[in-house]
Structure 1
């Protein structure tokens, strides 16, 4: 005899429930799902912002370095001129006014000529014979100005460039090249120009980089040529100072006097 067995529906249901129990369903709140989706977007925005900040900082840093390099070059390396534009001069001349009993006097100076920027710089050391101050002089043909820095007084003086006396850079360079070669000697007489202080200059930055480099941070005064050619009387001699220098085929004595 065969045995027929019937499996109850309850057993099938229990097995199905066990299978469903193995498949655990996790329900995530909607707010948490939104946060999880937002995290990558925020990370991406933060990375982009950081990159922008780094780029901007790099631009600012490079701009600062460029400006610092320009400043450093203009103020410290502008004097690094070619050797052929640097001159050491010694000139013998006669002074019939202040030293009539001496045959000749010697003027010594160093000259820098910058043809590119169109200016001349003259350094006059303390003279051996006295009667003149040590000085640094700049003739800026681009600005049309001359600056005298009297080293003895530690003061600067500014005046319009006198092109009737001061030779342009190219001409002065040619003259000094010929003097260096011994093919030409300047004339041995001296001429005088008299100037008087007319006011103080409180800022020299607008006068150009070369004058600013020479006179920046120093007492600076404006000059004008004395209208009268009369000699200054002895009582006022102590208010005047002289600078002797060569900037042409003759020696020039620049007398700078305070206001009477």
Structure 2
């Protein structure tokens, strides 16, 4: 009787330890995972206006980063300046709930808030839908 009782208590203790390891691992995993996903992409430029006649596109070392916050339905896009451009670097925030776009000029330190141009930037069903269409 006492050996079967000890065996049962040992198994019950091991089950509690295993459950603690699983729950603790899930909590630690959730704590250390990044809160927002950052997507990177590259831009492709063509020599001619007519893409059909262009021999092949050339790629510039430009990588845009987009921080997607699905809970807030916001996309934060960092736009680097191409070497051939005279424009300033900017951070762009599209708020699809309020239909606003904010441009932060990083060189001048000015922030401009304008209505979201829905003829160029269509509000997606969600941000994952937006980046699925862009890919």
With normalisation by structure 2, the TM-score equals: 0.56
Is 1:127 the counterpart of 2:82? The answer is yes
**Structure of larger gyration radius:** 1
Equivalent pair of 1:95/1:105 in contact (CA under 8 Å): no
2:130 aligns with one of 167, 172, 188 = 172
SS in 1 for 2:97: coil
2:40 aligns with one of 84, 88, 93 = 88
SS in 2 for 1:171: helix
Describe the shift of the 1:95–1:139 C-alpha distance in structure 2 as closer, same or farther (beyond 3 A): farther
Unaligned runs of 5+ in 2: 1-33, 50-56
Deviation at 1:131, TM superposition (A): 2.4
Q: CA RMSD in A?
A: 2.5
Post-superposition CA distance 1:82-107 (Å, at most 9, x none): xxx3211111123658xxxxx64634
Is 1:150 the counterpart of 2:102? The answer is no
Unaligned runs of 5+ in 1: 1-78, 98-102, 180-260
Post-superposition CA distance 1:53-110 (Å, at most 9, x none): xxxxxxxxxxxxxxxxxxxxxxxxxx831xxx3211111123658xxxxx64634210
Deviation at 1:133, TM superposition (A): 1.7
**Pairs within 5 Å for 1:64-83:** 80-81=35-36
2-structure distance, mates of 1:117, 1:171: 15
1-structure distance, mates of 2:97, 2:110: 23
SS in 2 for 1:174: helix
2-structure distance, mates of 1:171, 1:143: 18
Looking at secondary structure, tell me which structure has more helix per residue: 1
**Pairs within 5 Å for 1:99-110:** 104=58, 106=60, 107-110=62-65
With normalisation by structure 1, the TM-score equals: 0.31
Equivalent pair of 1:134/1:152 in contact (CA under 8 Å): yes
Looking at secondary structure, tell me which structure has more strand per residue: 2
**Pairs within 5 Å for 1:176-255:** 179=135
2-structure distance, mates of 1:162, 1:131: 23
